[in-house]
Amino acid sequence: MYKPPVRETSSDATAREAARGVLVITSAKVWFLLTGFAQPLVLTRLLHTDGYGLYGVVLNVLSIVNNAVVAGSIQAMSRAVTERGPGALRQGLLLHGALGVLLAGGLAAGSVALGEGLLGDPQLPPLLRLGALVVGNYCVYAALVGAFNGRRRFVTQAGLDITFATLRTALVLGLAASGLGVAGAVGGFTAASTVILLVALALTLREGRGAAPEEGALVTATRRLGFVEFSKSYAGFFLPVLVYQFVLNLVLQADLLVLKALGGRVMDPAGLNSQVGVYKAVQNFAFLPYQLLLSVTFVVFPLVSRATLEGDRETTRGFVRGALRFSALALGAMLSVLAGLPRGVLRLAYRPPIDEGYTALRALSVAQGAFALSVLGTTLVVASGRTRAATGLMAAMLTAVFAGDALALSALAPRLGVVYGTALGTLGGCLFGLLAVGLYVRSAFGGFVTAPTALRVLLATGVSAGLGACLPPLGKAATLGASAALVVVYLAALALTRELGPTELATVKRLLGRRSATRGG
């Protein structure tokens, strides 16, 4: 018997678009991570551990500002374009240009107080001044990317990510190897940010070519009035998001800076940069859960934002549940490897003595996993318009991380070392933050990661990581094989506990649009 084609609903189309958006942006993030890992792989050899530690401090300072600007700008411009159309970009760029001058100038002016005063290293101020140019470039570049995100041009957004990752790696390594050392690495980052800004501007101008010009005094007056109104509306959303992102990135990056500022009280300051270099190398792997799950936040934010504006609570609740469950499952797979084979993972990229930080990687990867879920939760809170609540939650986590790091450096570091002690302090603060975020999201949206899913993921991750911890020291090839095996064990444990089953496979097929349009019988 012939059955008519099953028509795709708007909800199905949106879900499939979200899945494809996650796929393409995740692919770009994977490339970003691969090229990013080429940097420490080479820089730890070019600059040695102490030089890499100095570069890591500069990079963390820049990342706190840059990541806040990028994420805040993408969310704010994405929302503005969603609500007002592409014309919002022109007005937004004026605001972002002014912000770039303000932030870059402020960092350059405060470089001595921060680098030589707070962090206690006279080598830092000139490096921070050079890196300040990156901050200015990011302010404008992120606004352009946000406009592409708001128009759901996920392929263009991913292409810019891939281009920038390639440029940054080539220029950072090239200038560092030319004999310029740490200054060359920072200069390469600055040059790459300038080039990608020009590329993004060119793409934006190409899309806007052919638009009808605005003419007449009345139109000019209207544009000026519109800009004032737009600025108030845009700043009303963007500034709270910027503050939220700044606090978020302090949680992400500040532990290394706390180690740099306070570690000299526990150990000989002459060897501190070397320990900071080990911690930075460990961070590169520990950040993987957060960096890979960022693709989910980029796609979910505009969808939840639109659903909230339209008052569609059921769609919002569905996005929240689906995004959190997917993220928890993906997180467990990554932690199975990072917590199960920490020494082998570090040896994939680094030479001794960096692999001595394997105990720190085990603790810090779990900390960053908790942080990644917390960020996804607070991103959903921001998308629903509750930015102050999201900022408050991140501020609570930041306080807990600062307190944990300071306590661990004073009480644990003398016995366990400054690297492992700092990682344990960060773990305690992030677990506290995850609990706070989970309770809030549950009250606001009707659920977080469900208890059955959380227990099954924890069980599967524990079994897989525990198995990895029992293995003897492995070579690089064996570590890669064992990593794949641990992921298989993790997935098998999820299947045995019925967290994964035929329903998930059917859902994937439906989202990818691979089901047949007609059926015969």
pLDDT in tens, the chain (521 residues): 444 544 545 455 455 555 555 566 666 667 777 777 788 888 988 999 999 999 999 999 999 999 888 877 887 888 787 777 667 787 888 899 999 999 999 999 999 999 999 998 999 999 999 999 999 999 999 888 888 876 667 777 778 888 888 999 999 999 999 989 999 999 999 999 999 999 999 888 887 654 444 444 433 433 444 777 888 888 887 888 889 889 999 999 989 999 999 988 888 888 899 999 999 999 999 998 888 777 666 566 656 666 655 555 666 666 677 778 888 898 999 999 999 999 999 998 888 889 889 999 999 999 999 999 998 888 888 877 788 999 999 999 999 999 999 999 999 888 899 999 999 999 999 999 999 999 998 888 777 888 899 999 999 999 999 999 999 988 899 999 999 999 999 999 998 998 887 766 555 455 445 433 434 43
380, 335 contact by CB (below 8 A): no
Tell me the two tokens of residue 73: 């700008």
DSSP 420-431: HHHHHHHHHHHH
Q: What is the rounded distance in angstroms from the CA atom of residue 57 to the CA atom of residue 367? A: 20
448 φ, ψ (degrees, to nearest 5):
-120, -140
H or E, element range at 160: helix 154-175
Q: Which residues pair with 519 in a beta bridge?
A: 3
SS3 353: coil
Cis link prior to 414 (omega < 30° from 0)? no
| Upstream peptide bond of 5 is cis (omega within 30 degrees of 0) | no
Residues forming a β-bridge with 3 = 519
425, 405 in Cβ contact below 8 A?
yes
Question: Burial level of 85, CB count in 10 A (0-12/13-18/19+)?
Answer: exposed
Is residue 519 helix, strand or coil?
Answer: strand
Please tell me the chain's helix, strand, coil percentages from 3-state DSSP, rounded to the nearest 5.
85, 0, 15
3-state secondary structure of 201: helix
48: left (phi over 0), alpha (psi -120 to 50) or beta: left
**Confidence (pTM):** 0.79
Q: How far, in Å, CA of 455 to CA of 466, rounded?
A: 16
Contact between 73 and 142 under an 8 Å Cβ cutoff? The reply is: yes
Facing residues of 336 across strands? none
Instruction: Label residue 497 exposed, middle or buried (CB < 10 Å: 0-12, 13-18, 19+).
Output: middle
